[in-house]
Amino acid sequence: MARRMALTVVLFAGCVWCVVLASRAESGEPAPAAPFKPVADVDGVMTAQGLVFKELQKAINVSKDPKRPRHIAHLSEALAELSNVNIYHAEKDDYRKWATELRDTALQLAKEAETKPAPDDAKMKALLGTLDKTCNACHDAYQK
């Protein structure tokens, strides 16, 4: 009798577990994500940021391509994402503040580039200047 009762409890618990799993799958509830960890070191991320920044400068100051606004938006979004990754490379508040400012300004630039009927070149150049100042402030503190 005790074995039968134990088996019933185990079967019942298994059924409850299956119902929980099925309801979670139907709800589209995602599995918990692992904490973010950059795969590139800070030098690799900084090098990529520098390359994207140089391309952004060319696109804003030189390019007359009709696809220029979208190109500037893509480059700005890439710089924002690299800056977003860079936030995880140090625990110092000022470093994270500059990386966050760089990300946010790059996103503003991407938004301005997509402005219809046409982006404001003066505003884009001003945002590019803000990006440059933010990079230099961090480099003055951390680059050896």
Q: What is the CATH number of domain 42-142?
A: 1.20.120.10
| pLDDT exceeds 90 at position 135 | yes
Residue with tokens 């500037």: 72
Q: What percentage of the chain exceeds 70 in pLDDT?
A: 77
Q: Determine the pLDDT at residue 6.
A: 40
pLDDT at res. 140? 93
pLDDT surpassing 90 at residue 25: no
Looking at per-residue pLDDT, the higher value among 72 and 20 belongs to 72
DSSP category for residue 28:
T
Six-digit token string for 50:
């520098």
| Structural domain boundaries in the chain | 1-33, 42-142
